[in-house]
Amino acid sequence: MIYKVIGKDEFRKLIEGLIESNETFGPRQVDTGKDGQPIYQFRKVDSFDDLELDYNYTASSLKNFFLPFKELLSRYAFTDDDWEQGIEYRVNPRVIVGARACDINALNKLDDIFIRGAFPSPYYMARRNNTFLIGMDHMPPEDCFCESLGELTVRQGFNLFCTDLGDRYYLSINSSKAFNFLKKVKTSNPTAEDDRKWIERRQLIKSSFQTEVETDELPDLLDIEFSSPIWKKWGDKCLNCGVCAMVCPTCYCYGVEETIDVSLKQARKERQQYSCTVVDFAEVAGGHNFRPLKEDRLKYRYYHHYHGFAENADQQICVGCNRCGRACLPGINPKDVINDLILESGDDV
Amino acid sequence: MKVDMKIDVHHLTRVEGHGNIEIEVKDGKLKKARWAVVETPRFFEAMLRGMSHDLAPMLTARICGICAIGHGLASLRAIERAMEVDVPETAKVLRLLAKHGETLQSHTLHVFFLAAPDFFGVPNVLPLIESHPEIAGLAVRLKKAGNDLCDLTTGRPTHPVSLVPGGLSKAPEKHELKAIRRVLVDRIPDIEATAALFKTLSIPDFVRETEFVALKGEKDYPWIGGDLVSTDGVVKEEDDYRAMTNEYKEDFTTTKFTRLSRESFAVGALARVNNNFKFLEEKSRAAAEELGLTPVNHNPYMNNVAQVIECDHVIRESIKLIDRLLEMDLSDIRAEYRVRAGKGVGAVEVPRGILYHEYELDDQGLVVKANCIIPTTQNNANIHIDLSALVEQGLKEKKTDAEITHLSEMLVRAYDPCISCSVH
Amino acid sequence: MTFKIPKQDINFKPFMNRPPDYKLKHEIMRTDRVYKCEVINIIELTAEEKLFHLKIIDPAERAIFHFRPGQFLMLEVPGFGEFPISISSSSNNQEYIALCIRKVGRGTEILHRARMGSRVGIRGPFGTSFPMEEMVGHNILLVAGGLGLAPLRAPLYWVNEHRDQYRDVSLLYGTKDPSSMLFTYQYEQWRTVNRIRLMTIVDRPDENWTGRVGLITELFKEIEIDPLNTYAIVCGPPIMFKFVCNHLDSLGIPMNRMFVSLERRMHCGMGKCCRCMVGSTFTCVDGPVFDYWSVMNLKEAI
Amino acid sequence: MKYLGIDPEKIKIGSFDFTCCEGCQLQLANKEDTLVDFLNLLEVVNFREISSYRGEDYDIALIEGAISRQDEVERLKRIREQAKVLVALGTCACFGGVNQIKNKFEIEDVVREVYGDDPVETLPVRKISDVVKVDLEIPGCPVSKEEVEKIVVDLVTGAEINFPKYPVCVECRRKVNTCVFDLGLLCLGPITRAGCGAVCTSGKTACIGCRGPAEEANYEEFRQVLKEHGFTPREARERIDFYGGLPEMVIDES
Ligand SMILES: Cc1cc2nc3c(=O)[nH]c(=O)nc-3n(C[C@H](O)[C@H](O)[C@H](O)COP(=O)(O)OP(=O)(O)OC[C@H]3O[C@@H](n4cnc5c(N)ncnc54)[C@H](O)[C@@H]3O)c2cc1C
Ligand code: SF4
Ligand code: SF4
Ligand code: SF4
């Protein structure tokens, strides 16, 4: 990795240049909540001033830029008794500014599945390869727990990562593209003072977490407590609304559907983001449901997130952003569920 | 020669809702000519009682599947006047734009899908797709533009979602406005072609002196709120609408009838053009003159022409409204307001004429009493009386049963009645 | 000053238009490209099930298509959906692929209307297979319930084609009623030509049925099993293979010598959609063939 | 398309309206981009609102609206006898729709409120399936034309018709909307069947349940959610009762 320091004015020039030449997305305020607090999402930006780089969190994650909620996989064109399949992977280059470390870590996890997994996905890869990603550190919101999962810092998977040193950014440069762009604006090599401030900033962030979740023993615990009563307790609360999975940066379960156009001349095959908490997730033709109960489905989501699974070499995929917890209307959130699970297992011994 | 005639058109087709035409002629004398609405009433005013005011516009939009935006706006206007809410200017412009989308959509639906088949002697618009593809093309493009405008401003073409007390819950993005502006500009040649088409059609020649009622324009062609005016010279305030409508009930119909200076009056596109001709967009006015539509025109069949002229007008005015919006801050679309007790009237020109909503609200913002008067209700008596005159004229001109039936059906259709709406 | 990000296309390695080889990892392949097949034969087996013979149209694609007994395909009926189906023919058959398909939902129902010459798509093969080589020199016990006979046909063909390498081969087959019994026209051949001990049983007999009546476990009373020299392949509804495997376990067949084929909802076949997950395991890439020990260790598998 | 032996035949439809706003029928003429293709799949033999041709040989009857008068009951029964497939089109037909709000009041009171001493005939509002057998329900106020198109294609090709089983929230979040609960609104999305594309919440207004219940909706917990968000039983009930499609969601006073 190469490191540089850039003044905030100069940084602005860089971003403005990127916005001008490319489709650019970043955190924007989309609404004001009933509590008066701003609500942010990653949206298209037309100027630097659209960006709200001091945002706390976006309600939905970056995931859908790489795994769109609805994605066309193939098109079929029918001729009398025959058809032709058409596939398109292209995506136009674009920039995303202001991703948090946990967001980038989440993408790295998705890379393990969609690029390094058994059957790499060209759709995902086309989007990932054509996205210029600029990360940015921040002070943790009070309910985040990425630190507990070791996802507080990120060392790969971005083009440029900015550590905020007040009037300037400490830049971690992770791609030749980024390096070349930076040649066109004024940067300097970090001084010893910059390095010291960088360390201070990191330590400050690390020590600012207010939420901690004990996750080390979770893979085993989840196995041991597979029939724990806490699943019913939390499962009964679940609305099966799938919201948790939709906003989560790493939930990637999906369904594929085909539809014929009204012209009867073409058909579309589309991938749609799904959620394991949704009622028919594991239902098969004929009506048998392999996970008929709310608790089965909710448990499965936790099992998948914290037990890990084969495709990504058994790593936990939660990055601790708590988006699911915030979005869940009945208030089901990883911290409480996991704590319950740990308490429950404590009772056993 | 003795003429006996019994015409009974049960559930007239190509109109919204259920109505019957009943004509009886004995010995060459007209015994009966009725326009009977047999729609099942839904009792919206009764349902509104006790409902939160913010649900009222959503409920009343369901009075009509065609002019749902109009109902929503009348309802909002009544509520906002009752609670003295100041709606931001941006929201007002956006609402008017939505209104224009609806007018365009509704008028093209009527002109092309419901009325046009009569002029071409086909049962519906489908054969025209084959025989006159260029006309079908006009219809589809114009209607789509109207629907798209509604969709963009209110969230969907029918039953708006973003019309809320205080303004709008969501504004379109500027790039979306620019896109729809381009579409509207492209529709100008289409509407001009439509006017040219109407020049070639023969509008039945029938005239009956009628009083026409509309909103009174001040500077612009009026659509939402303001004073009421009639071609007989009556002027009233919006709040005084009951004195303008004077509802009463007849036995043979489930709708109410209305009257003003004469035994009946008419509202709708023709009434608006007759009352506010000078406020039409300049080019629209010229087109009207070209088509022989100048105030005060007493041929009810000319309502179709008036609708074409209004389409022309709203397309041109929408473009101007969008230009204004592009200069405005689109985040300022909703006013905070305090819920309080009050009474309010909202009068809105919907495609078929003036629509009135009136609510009385309690201090919780719940509806205590509601009254809605629908344009078609106001037209029903006039249709009914027109029918008699039309049959009399037909008898004089020795028209056959079939001709009289055809002309009667066309007459009713010309009013573009929205019957389920009138029996809400 | 230009900040334009250059467009980066994906390199399909090594050839853009080479048909996919699903066994290669870490290679971006056109995994969504289907092999186009023609239906060359349709055999009506029961009211609900038909056997389809599919021939891959492109000879080059046909030449590289290989599978092992127990693997499955994703069958696509363009416009109506894609679903997993076990391959029910010999892995030696270079001419066509046989699929036995029950009419149950949107995709399968439409497929049942296919005529000779209709064209459908396949992707695959996917998943694990039965370890036929490992079983050499042993007795083989095949146990099938209902539609479970379909995936057993591929290992059965294998055994028949290498009959001398295996010792006693038994096939126990049970169905709900006689009319839902599959592939009856082949039984005689299996028994006489292939020297397979074939036993059938039904739950609910009809007036013409003269055979055995009862649950499939009844059949075990009639055969003798040499537990330390036998491999078992069990396929059928979960409740059935659970009973059968428990029984075989009690007889002393080691759990890692019993194989089952699991069924779960699937939307990709490639370990992505997660619909087929059982605990931490994908039925599509880690299965569908599992040994019973693994299944026992899977949370919520049975 | 002759694919798989599917030689699509136009379906003969009749469209009939009862107590309603006719907005659902109107949707059939919307979505103009694909209108011609859509109409190509249909043979409209009876559709009073747009056509003067009145044939009786329809196979599929689209029924719009609820039932609120005796003559409607009889007309509906006649249509049922004729139709091979009877489709309840729209929320009014499926659940009674807004019309059934009337049923909370006494009939005489309702009539008096609107017609004073000049009464008209009316019955308590019933949904179509309360009167005749319904083969297919397409909910929505109004129905989504996109969904109708899909269903018509399924009918023409003979494919099984599927509706989403999950609630509106899934579609809502797929659109990256802000949850309107966060804006202080009472949304019925979590218990309402998806398929509308979350139009209402995408317009930043609450879902009021026009599509009826999602499968296995968790009413118990949803009641709790409403309470915790500080909504009064009156507010909740008013919205749940709006379309009549969520009879199992009971709100108690406590
Ligand atoms: C490994 C494996 C092998 C199979 N082999 C056979 C076979 O040889 N013969 C046979 O008749 N059936 C087999 N099935 C079951 C077959 O996949 C389903 O019957 C089929 O998916 C139903 O699809 P549908 O479109 O008709 O149903 P729908 O209910 O319309 O299903 C929609 C989608 O859900 C998924 N789905 C639904 N049911 C199942 C299911 N049971 N299993 C997996 N996905 C499902 C599919 O993706 C399907 O496209 C197998 C299933 C698996 C997992
Ligand atoms: S968001 Fe909450 S209620 Fe909804 S599915 Fe997820 S856990 Fe269940
Ligand atoms: S906290 Fe929730 S939303 Fe965030 S990564 Fe973990 S599971 Fe996903
Ligand atoms: S707005 Fe309504 S539909 Fe959308 S997520 Fe929230 S509760 Fe669900």
Residues of D within 8 A of C104 (CB-CB) are none
Test C271 with A20 for CB contact under 8 angstroms.
Answer: no
Q: Region A45-49: what's the mean pLDDT?
A: 94
Confidence of residue A65 (pLDDT cuts 50, 70, 90): very high
- Here the CATH number for the domain that contains residue B115 is 1.10.645.10
The answer to whether chain C touches chain D by having 3 or more C-beta pairs less than 8 angstroms apart is yes
Q: Among the bound ligands, name the one nearest to the CA of residue A321.
A: 3
> Does residue A73 sit within a domain?
yes
Residue A49, in any domain of the structure: yes
Band the pLDDT of C5: cuts 50, 70, 90: confident
Spatial distance between the Cα atoms of A346 and A325, rounded to a whole number of angstroms: 24
Q: Answer whether C252's CB lies under 8 Å from C162's CB.
A: no
Mean pLDDT in residue range A144-153? 85
DSSP one-letter code for D166: S
Summarize pLDDT for B209-219 with one digit per residue, the tens. Answer: 999 999 999 99
The overall average pLDDT reported for chain A is 90
Choose among D8, D38, D150: nearest Cβ to A259.
D150
Closest by CA to A172, choosing from A243, A279, A271, A99, is A99
| Closest residue CA from atom 26 of ligand 1 | C105
Residue D180 three-state SS = coil
Q: Does D116 touch chain C (CB under 8 A)?
A: no
Q: Whose CA is nearest to atom 6 of ligand 4?
A: D179
Mutating to test ligand 4, I would choose from D175, D179, D196 the residue with most ligand atoms within 8 A of its C-beta, which is D179
Highest average pLDDT, of C123-127, D10-14, D207-211, comes from D207-211
Average pLDDT of span B144-168: 94
Question: Which residues are within 8 A (CB) of A323 and not within 5 positions of it... i.e. 6 or more apart?
Answer: A57, A59, A60, A61, A247, A248, A249
Mean pLDDT, range D83-100, rounded to an integer: 95
**Dihedral sign (CA B125, B127, B132, B137):** positive
Give the whole-angstrom CA distance, residue D233 versus residue D250.
10
What confidence score (pLDDT) does residue D115 get? 78
Residue B395 has pLDDT above 60, yes or no: yes
Least confident of B161-165, B280-284, B395-399, C171-175: B395-399
φ, ψ (nearest 5 deg) of residue A171: -100, 130
> Can you tell me the distance from the alpha carbon of D236 to that of D238, in angstroms, rounded to the nearest whole number?
6
In the 8-state DSSP scheme, what is residue B223? -
For residue A243, pLDDT over 80 is answered with yes
Q: What is the ipTM of this complex?
A: 0.91
Residues A196 and A304 in one domain: no
Query: Which range among B71-75, B153-157, D49-53, D131-135 shows the weakest confidence by mean pLDDT?
Result: D49-53
B87 vs C193 pLDDT, higher one: B87
3-state secondary structure chain C: CCCCCCCCCCCCCCCCCCCCCCCCCCCCCCCCCCEEEEEEEEEECCCCEEEEEEEECCHHHHHHCCCCCCCEEEEEECCCEEEEEECCCCCCCCCCEEEEEECCCHHHHHHCCCCCCCEEEEEEEECCCCCCCCCCCCEEEEEEEHHHHHHHHHHHHHHHHCHHHCCCEEEEEEECCHHHCCCHHHHHHHHHCCCCEEEEEECCCCCCCCCEECCHHHHHHHCCCCHHHEEEEEECCHHHHHHHHHHHHHHCCCHHHEEEECCCCCCCCCCCCCCCEECCEECCCCCCEEEHHHHHHCCCCC
B192 part of a folded domain: yes
pLDDT of residue C9: 76
Smallest CA–CA distance from C105 into chain D, residue:
D160
Tell me what pLDDT residue C19 has.
47
C18: confidence class by pLDDT, cuts 50, 70, 90: very low
Domain ranges of chain D: 11-157, 168-250
Percent of chain A clearing pLDDT 90 (strictly above): 68
Q: What is the mean pLDDT of residues A263-282?
A: 93
Domain tally, chain A: 2
Residue B105 in this model has a pLDDT that exceeds 70: yes
A330 plus A184 within the same structural domain: no
- The token duo for D99 is 């019309």
What end-to-end distance do the CA atoms of chain B give, in Å?
A: 45
Q: From CA C229, how far away is CA C231, in angstroms rounded?
A: 7
Residue A41 scores a pLDDT above 80: yes
Peptide bond before residue A141 is cis, with ω within 30 degrees of 0: no
Tell me whether A56 touches chain D (CB under 8 Å).
no
What value does the mean pLDDT of chain C take?
Answer: 88
Domain D11-157: CATH architecture, name and number where available: 3-Layer(aba) Sandwich (3.40)
Task: From residue D174, give the alpha-carbon distance in Å to each of A71, D193, D205.
Answer: 12, 15, 16
Mean pLDDT of chain B: 91
Q: What is the chain C residue with the closest CA to D160? A: C106
Q: Comparing C-alpha atoms, which of C193, C59, A39 is closest to residue D182?
A: A39
Q: Tell me, yes or no, whether A90 and A172 share the same domain.
A: yes
Total number of domains in chain B: 1
Beta-carbon contacts of residue C50 (< 8 Å; ≥ 6 apart):
C42, C43, C44, C100, C101, C103, C112
Indicate the residue of C78, C109, C115 with minimum beta-carbon distance to D5.
C115
Last residue of a domain, one of A155, A175, A207: A207
- What gap in Å lies between CA C141 and CA C253, rounded to an integer? 11
Q: Which domain range does residue A314 map to?
A: 218-348
Instruction: Mark whether A334 and A228 lie in a shared domain.
Output: yes
- Compute how many other C-beta atoms are within 10 angstroms of the C-beta atom of residue D134: 18
Query: Residue A213: inside a domain, yes or no?
Result: no
Domains within chain C, CATH numbers bracketed: 13-126 (2.40.30.10), 133-296 (3.40.50.80)
pLDDT-based confidence at residue B14 (cuts at 50, 70, 90): confident
Interaxial angle between packed helices A101-114 and A122-129, expressed in degrees from 0 to 180 and rounded to the nearest 10: 140
Q: Which residue of C has its CA nearest to D6?
A: C113
Cα D240 from Cα D249, distance rounded (Å): 7
Residue C1: what pLDDT? 63
**How much is the pLDDT for C14?**
43
Residue-wise burial string across D16-46, b where 16 or more C-beta atoms lie within 10 A, e elsewhere = bbbbbbbbbbbbbbbbbeebbebbbbbbbbb
State what percent of residues in chain B have pLDDT above 90. Answer: 65
What range does the domain containing B268 cover?
A: 44-376
Instruction: Please check whether residue B364 lies inside any domain of the structure.
Output: yes
Contacts of A318 (CB under 8 A, 6+ apart): A149, A215, A250, A305, A306, A334
Q: Read off the pLDDT of residues C254-268 as tens digits, 9 standing for 90 and up.
A: 999 999 999 999 999
Specify whether A147 is located in the same domain as A231. Answer: no
Dihedral through CA C231, CA C235, CA C241, CA C246, nearest 10?
0
Q: In what order do the strands lie in the sheet with C97-102?
A: C81-86, C72-77, C119-126, C35-44, C49-56, C97-102
pLDDT at B1: 53
Does one domain contain both A291 and A249? Answer: yes
pLDDT at D170: 96
Q: Per the domain annotation, does A85 fall within a domain? A: yes
Q: How far is A30 from chain D (nearest CA, A)?
A: 8
CA–centroid distance, A233 to ligand 2, in Å, is: 13
Chain D touching partners, 3 or more CB pairs below 8 A: A, B, C
Q: Please state the separation of Cα B375 from the chain's center in Å.
A: 7
Q: Which residue is closest to C109 within chain D, CA to CA?
A: D159
The CA-atom distances, in angstroms, between A18 and each of A14, A158, A164, B369, C146 are 6, 16, 20, 59, 62
Asked whether residue B405 is domain-assigned, the answer is no
**A201 and A250 together in one domain:** no
Strands A94-99 and A131-136: parallel
Please write the tens of the pLDDT for every residue from B181-229.
Answer: 999 999 999 999 999 999 998 889 999 999 999 999 999 999 999 999 9
Answer yes or no: is pLDDT of A31 > 80: yes
Q: What is the mean pLDDT of residues B19-33?
A: 85
pLDDT at position A313 is 63
Q: Within a 10 A sphere around the Cβ of D106, how many other Cβ atoms?
A: 11
The backbone torsions φ and ψ at residue A82, rounded to the nearest 5 degrees and listed phi first, read -135, 175
Preceding omega of C14 cis (within 30 degrees of 0): yes
* HEC readout, chain A: CEEEEEEHHHHHHHHHHHHHHCEEEEEEEEEECCCCCEEEEEEECCCHHHCCCCCCCECCCCHHHCCCCEEEEEEEEEECCEEEEECCCCCCCEEEEEECHHHHHHHHHHHHHHCCCCCCCHHHHHHHHCEEEEEECCCCCCCCCHHHHCCCCCCCCCCEEEEECCCEEEEEECCHHHHHHHHCCCCECCCHHHHHHHHHHHHHHHHCCCCCCCCCCHHHHHHHCCCCCHHHHHHCCCCCCCHHHHHCCCCCCEEEEEEECCCCCEEEEEEEECCCCCCCCCECCCCCECCCCHHHHHHHHHHHHHHCCHHHCCCCCCCCCCHHHHHCCCCCCHHHHHHHHHHHHHHHC
Confidence at C13, pLDDT banded by 50, 70, 90: low
Mean of the pLDDT values across residues A330-336?
93
Sheet containing strand B342-350, edge to edge, reads B342-350, B353-361, B367-373
Place of tokens 């009041």: D105
Task: Please give the DSSP secondary-structure letter assigned to residue D65.
Answer: S
pLDDT tens figures, D160-211: 999 999 999 999 999 999 999 999 999 999 999 999 999 999 999 999 999 9
Q: Which residues contact D230 (CB under 8 A, 6 or more apart)?
A: none
Average pLDDT of span C137-154: 93
pLDDT by residue (tens digit) across C174-213?
999 999 999 989 998 898 888 889 999 999 988 888 889 9
> Residues A186, A234: one domain?
no
Q: Over pLDDT 70: what percentage of chain A? A: 97
Are D200 and D208 contacting, i.e. CB atoms less than 8 angstroms apart? yes
Distance CA A162, CA D213 (A): 47
pLDDT higher than threshold 80 for residue B115: yes
- Say if CB A152 and CB A141 are below 8 A apart: no
Give residue for tokens 């039925």. C283
Based on the fold, state whether residues A121 and A175 are members of the same structural domain.
yes
pLDDT tens readout for residues B325-357: 999 999 999 999 999 999 999 999 999 999 999
Confidence of residue B298 (pLDDT cuts 50, 70, 90): very high
Rounded average pLDDT over C8-27: 54
C-beta of residue B376 within 8 angstroms of C-beta of residue B421: yes
| Gap from CA of A214 to ligand 3 centroid (Å) | 15
Cα A124 versus chain centre, distance: 14
Which helix (H) or strand (E) segment holds residue D233: the answer is: helix D233-240
Q: Looking at residue C3, what is its pLDDT? A: 86
- Which spans in B327-400 are helix H? 375-396
- CA A239–ligand 4 middle distance (angstroms): 11
Is the pLDDT reported for residue C28 higher than 90? no
Distance CA D15, CA B294 (A): 39
Burial (CB count <10 Å: 0-12, 13-18, 19+), residue B165? buried
pLDDT at A181 over 80: yes
Q: Average pLDDT for residues A197-226, to the nearest whole number?
A: 86
